[in-house]
Structure 1
């Protein structure tokens, strides 16, 4: 808890200092988390949910649009993100949820369903570790950077100088499997999200490592731009 308070104080001090001292923000890595009203990203999403009754897989498109900006209760600039979904590109978008995002010269924060997560820590450097839950009441979850990523082509677009954030890599054991990561491109933001959380059957199991509950999620950037 003491660590989280120190982290929060550092976030506030950095936010106040942003307007006073000019910095090379690209060198710090802030351009990996771009925030501009009117910008958007569209992802192809594949989601599988597991239960004892069976598994269901759905595919859809998700659009994240920076709809507006405003000052929050701490007088820091935050951006309003509308998240909309549709089954395919022949349908209209339907608003699913509203998140917020903000960044300072030391962290980038995305608030998902009223829970803030520290998505990036600045400056970006390989193997640097931080607590992704430093600003919420959840248990500590250490994130870390893998900056030694190969160039990646998605839907005929080449992305270079990628940074991968490993959020959870507990791997596989008799209880289950856990892995979460997000990959970011400069001046674009997140281009790939991978998440797999599964709990294995522990009693009267039909097969080894039978999945009783869990969720797989894969998001791949399809398009981005500004409206």
Structure 2
């Protein structure tokens, strides 16, 4: 895995280059024709589009889990508006309900910017780099590239550290949820667990991963943050004990326009 990828070819994407940066030279010579590179759309957005996720939240206390279940709907209700650089920014409205029989209630708003070489998400005033295109196995980048003052004291990735990776590029994904199987023939996964050095050690374990399907969008999200029991005289427990922590996983169960 080459963690200097940003220096060689990915930095331009993170800085939001114009569409010209994604052009591919189709031929050589004085009359060379420049054609746009056709990249898979891993985060399609359009007015009226929506995705519904089945969500499981789990809280850990003294290695004992307590789980809750609900649904999220992410929906684009209006046309995108340009940001300061003229790039289209979509507002993705998130609603929540406890069961499919209940009405949706407003929850939060996620803003998503899609440009030729990257996709960024902004939530709670924090902008993160969700994707860097094209997706290549082992490619890496900084998840917090736009957060120069980000505080990494809690073990999260900092703006100056390469902390996001691609794996399972072009692989199928099958998930069973509530007795139903959801199959996605072609996916890519972004991941930062077990590969980010200081983020995972004997005292804590932090996992963040998202799987995308072209033409569909995010289909599976996982986030976990655990602290080990290090109160004993001999130090942290081995094997790892989820003394305190939280986890959430989201499975796409429906999408449309």
Interval of TM-score (by shorter of Structure 1 and Structure 2): 0.7 to 0.9
Superposition deviation, residue 172 in structure 1: 6.3
Count of residues in correspondence between the two structures: 219
Contact conserved, 1:165 with 1:182, CA < 8 A, in 2?
yes
**1:118 and 1:94, CA in 2 relative to 1: closer, same or farther beyond 3 A?**
same
Structure 2 match to 1:167? 192
Measure, in 2, the Cα distance between the counterparts of 1:100 and 1:135: 14
Aligned to 2:164: 143
2:15 to 11, 20, 43: 11
Q: Give the alignment partner of residue 193 of structure 1, picking from 218, 221, 229.
A: 221
1:152 equivalent to 2:174? Answer yes
Task: Give the 5 Å matches for 1:2-151.
Answer: 7=11, 11-14=15-18, 23-25=36-38, 28-29=39-40, 31-51=41-61, 55-68=65-78, 69-137=80-148, 138=150, 139=158, 140-146=161-167, 147-151=169-173
More strand by share: 1
Q: Secondary structure at the match of 2:15?
A: helix
Residue 138 of structure 2 aligns to a residue whose secondary structure is coil
Unaligned runs of 5+ in 2: 1-6, 24-33, 151-157
Q: Is the 8 A contact 1:52 1:213 kept in 2?
A: yes
Structure number, greater radius of gyration: 2
Structure 2-normalised TM-score? Answer: 0.74
Q: Measured at CA, do residues 54 and 161 of structure 1 come closer, stay the same or move farther in structure 2, by a change above 3 Å?
A: closer
TM-score, with length taken from structure 1: 0.83
Distance (whole Å) between structure 2 residues aligned to residue 98 and residue 130 of structure 1? 25
Secondary structure at 1:12 match in 2: coil
Whole-Å Cα distance in 1 between the matches of residues 35 and 94 of structure 2?
A: 32
Kindly tell me: are residues 160 and 61 of structure 1, through their superposed partners in 2, closer, same or farther at Cα, counting changes over 3 Å? Answer: same
Give the C-alpha shift of residue 112 in structure 1: 1.5
